[in-house]
Amino acid sequence: MPEPTTVAFPPAFLFGAATSAYQIEGAVREDGRTPSIWDTFSHTPGRTAGGETGDIAVDHYHRYRDDVALMAELGLTAYRFSVSWSRVQPTGRGPVVQRGLDFYRRLVDELLARGITPALTLYHWDLPQELEDAGGWPHRDTAFRFAEYAQSVGEALGDRVEQWITLNEPWCSAFLGYASGVHAPGRTDPAASLRAAHHLNLGHGLAVSALRAAMPAGNRIAISLNSSVVRPLSQDPADLAAARRIDDLANGVFHGPILHGAYPSSLLEATRSVTDWSHVLDGDVRTINAPLDALGLNYYTPTLVSAAPGGAKGPRADGHGSSDHSPWPAADDVLFHQTPGDRTEMGWTIDPTGLYDLLMRYTREAPGLPLHITENGAAYDDKPDPDGRVHDPERIAYLHAHLAEVRRAIADGADVRGYYLWSLMDNFEWAYGYGKRFGAVYVDYATLERTPKSSALWYGEAARTRVLPPVRAGA
């Protein structure tokens, strides 16, 4: 049998790259935009590395034409971006600002003119601050405000964008934002985090219905989940039970109602000490269970857990930032371990087999539902050489290994339609500021000059030939 690296990807397979609004756009006070929770969070002392913010980011708002031209030059066939809610609807409710929508109209038109498929994400963590002041995602009304926003964007762009994603990584929004506090808005309330998870689910379901009413029938709607590949440290029953609890909190809390129409009973039971789940009202889960056209999966590294001996609390090496508060409600007696192997600059173990496992799991969980890898990538300490070139052989090896696992999954029956490299270019990496470079394109933050790294050229060759180029020494 031929190796997956030598077999061509399907003709319609999308080779894309992904970004998010707050991480790249800048222009935070232009054309009617108001603060989001990430503006507030990043301007709060001690919240981000070096006090860095997305005020300018990489100035994509003014440089988008050049950025799209660069995508086309590299040979990308798709681009996943997010819309800034507070740029389009500054208060999170009421009339939209056409100047804000016009930016996304221009961006989409530029992409289409270059033959690049746009994939639009409605929410990538940047809730309008006014909605957070009213209660944020733990407050039920936010779900309805999100649906209204989705409808407005659908009406404006549904005639030219066919691929839509409601939420990006709602796990991070709920649990890093409201439980551990390492993401905006920085709250540390486990019960609020579980309410937020449900209302994100509800907002997703309401948005699916709103989009279907506002857009052409052929448009495709998905959600992007950062589903964890949770592995037990051993086959001891206690470790297996610990893995099940974390799987429920990482995965089941979202794919249970979204794909299967019910929260896992084991999740509800395990979190009874935190919430009675009375915030789940009659009809909510039916709304959340709205049919999807595709499922987005984001993958970086697997999760390894065990039961704490004697119920004692232990170190939380879960890769989700440093905090005295856990993002895992009612799971303080679960230990997280770093898996062995090489690591990226984020400290995340490189394990491409986890991506294969994830794809095959959802092939079983949601048979017949097309899959997209909506994020996958690695941060490295990239630096230009004396000639100004940026060589990143580690990232090339990373991409080669992970794309080979995607190809293997396709060969084994997974209906994978596309892969979106995280990220198109270096950008504001949330609480890490500008210290972690995920981009295939290097950005000089002093001049904002863009320089494709060797990985961008390698990935572009893969996109053009649909076969994985070899990993050449010294690339």
Active site members: 169, 375
Residue 342 amino acid letter? D
CA 91, 93, 97, 103 dihedral sign is positive
The secondary structure of residue 310, as a DSSP letter, is: G
Reported in sequence order, the residue ranges of 142-227 that DSSP labels E, i.e. its strands, are 163-168, 220-225
Q: At what angle do helices 454-465 and 393-411 cross, to 10 degrees?
A: 30
In terms of phi and psi (left: phi > 0; alpha: psi -120 to 50; beta: otherwise), the region of 347 is left
CA–CA gap between residue 318 and residue 228 (Å, rounded): 11
Of the chain, the end-to-end C-alpha distance in Å amounts to: 28
Count of C-beta atoms within a 10 Å radius of residue 273: 10
Q: Is 336 within 8 Å of 308 (Cβ atoms)?
A: no
| Nearest to 42, CA basis, from 31, 32, 56, 30 | 56
CA atoms within a 13 Å half-sphere pointing along the CA-CB vector of 326:
18
Q: How many residues does the chain have?
A: 475
Amino acid at 443: V
| Structure token pair of residue 359 | 């794809």
Contacts 24+ apart (CB under 8 A), 198-201: 198/277, 198/279, 198/280, 198/284, 199/137, 199/138, 199/139, 199/140, 199/142, 199/143, 199/279, 200/137, 200/143, 200/167, 200/170, 200/173, 200/174, 201/170, 201/254, 201/257, 201/258, 201/284, 201/288
Give the contacts of 288 (CB within 8 A, at least 6 positions apart).
201, 202, 204, 205, 257, 258, 261
Cα separation of 169 and 123, whole Å? 9
Closest CA to 454 of 437, 438, 440, 471: 440
Q: 1: burial class by Cβ within 10 Å (0-12, 13-18, 19+)?
A: exposed
